[in-house]
A and B are shown apart, each in its own frame.
Chain A
Amino acid sequence: MHTDRLRPVLLPVAAVAVAVAIGAAIVLAAGASPVAAATAIWVAAFSGTDAIAATLEKATPLLFAGLAVIVGVRAGLFNIGAQGQLLVGAITSAYAGYRLAGLPPAVHLPLCLAIGILSGALPALLAGVLRATRGVHEVIVTIMLNTILVNLTDWLAGGPWMEQGQPVSRTPAIAGSARMARVAGLPVGFLLAVAMAFVVWFVLDRTTFGFRLATVGANRNAAHYAGISVAGATVAAMTLSGALAGLGGAVESLGIVGRFEPGFNAGLGFDGITIALLARVSPRAVIPAAVLIGALRASSTQLQARARLAPEIVDVVLAIALLLVAAPLILRWLLRLRPGSCRTEVQLTRGWGA
């Protein structure tokens, strides 16, 4: 019983450990000191309130994006569009944040968050409906939507919603009544993200709705035979996924950036795929996975300053960790593990023709 419970945790932890060991070797090969690198990460990511807050701030969008990907994967859907949905959530909440200035904070902030959620959900809903009614693969639709949404937000930020009287394409600053502050040194956005992780866990693992999604994800035909609406589950999972990504974008605008500026949210949605895989598609495991990557990202400045390490090293370590998690065979062979129970196996998405 003991080891069975540990097993799902063991693999990602071992993968990260091996990745860190390989990373240390790369650091040595690059002529730097792994000890200095570890010290830099510790100082930048965990020593003191500011460092911890910086780590959690970096972890927040990763958490939301990771949860968004997980909701899709549970239903057998691969939402590649988290990036686009996040961007739309970020820009619409920023727009509401400066345009509706004057509202009391108790109304303004929740309203901006809601607008971010809705506008992130919309493009995902479109992909879900196309999937459910026309059988168009959601991967293709969401990739295409990413391109459209990235360019749409660029255009809005440099055109109709651009801040006047200066040349940079960005929206005006969000009013104070819609800004998310830190509470007791902790970023509110992170607390919200952790709460969402538990909500998503509860919904997916403890409700009939979650069971329906998982059944559709495991076998669409069986789910249909059992009387579950496959179309309904598909649309619901995609919409929920987009809503989470949109909320992530809104939290980024309202809590960190203070406006929308193209380029400031680059790659966050795609990081969600990394996080979801690293967490082996478990909503609660996303929290430590996001904090880990957040810590590495937060220490990029100190890694350059103290250990003379190019910031790309962090991405190399992450990529190795992901490779080991996503291809458990390698790690199992390395560590001489026997094939695990079905809990450790994750079916990511069904094939193209299914």
Chain B
Amino acid sequence: MEHLANIFWLGTKELRSFSRDFVLFGFVIYSFTLAVYAQAESPAQEAHNSAVAIVDEDHSTLSRAIAAALLPPYFSPPTEVVARQIEELMDTARSTFVLDIPPHFERDILTGRGSVIQVNVDATAMMQAGIGAGYLQQIISREIARSATGAGPAQADPVGLAVRVAFNPNLSTQLFNAVMAIIGNVNMLAIILAGAAIIREREHGTMDHLLIMPLTPFEIAAAKVWANGLVITVAVGLSLWLVIETLLGIRIVGSIPLFMAGVMIYLFFATAIGIFLGTVARSMPQLGLLFVLVALPMNILSGGNTPLDSMPSFLRAVMQLSPSTHFVSFAQAILYRGAGIDVVWPQFAAVGIVGGIFFALSIMRFRKITAAMM
């Protein structure tokens, strides 16, 4: 009981200090509104609004039909260029795809002589290049087939293929990107806030003061966890409600309370590692660099930006130890697949256990740092 009271009252102090730092406050608001919105609206990986240029040396009905078939949202309206511009356009990354339609293309196709449109793909624009090249191939084939049969329906294949995309029929990336933006911000905020709070207490000597009072390091750390965690949980909740549901108009199928519970468990981990880094770094500049070293891989390799399956197996195993990976995985399960606690509990448990380990480590380091400071 006394422990709980201590943790509660110490935490209120943290909340008071936070509410006084207006610059920090402003940037927290930015990171959970505008930053989330921007990332949600941007095509992180899908073929979306791809820049296409066409060299049309045919000027036929078919070539015009192909150009007209490159439609938003997948492609931005194609620009017509001449052959000698191809190289420059691709060198400067202004066009990701350049179609070269040879002279007499329509005639040669229709007379069965055969002709080939060359699709130049900037193969350094990895994900978009791969997906977009597939689309282009399909669109061109379809247009060729259509022109061959007159305006009528294309000849049916001997075997059909009916594809159903489960959970996300339009393959929309907004929700996915928004959730990835949120987890990135959660990492950044929780680690910097908690870590910097420790360094500040050390630099201002208030850490000594706390350690001399009838408070255990556990209480001191737990107070920081709940106070910082509360601020960020509220920010995440508001971000879900205001940005994702209201502004972007996305309807979330899964259970939001369950997702928020996951966020809270994740925050326990993130503030715990922040506190741990705060006890390891000796100054703010060092904390900044440690933060980059820890948070960047956690964010980028969590499976949210690039597929986990493509990583070397040892790295994949290492990333299984990172709670950010589990966060991405349970966020998908809950928000897209509508999974319940029966499905995501192993991920929740993994995040909680890793969080507990860092929490315990930071408590162990608390007393050591006063000795090291001398």
A and B are interacting partners: no
Q: Which residues of A contact B (CB under 8 A)?
A: none
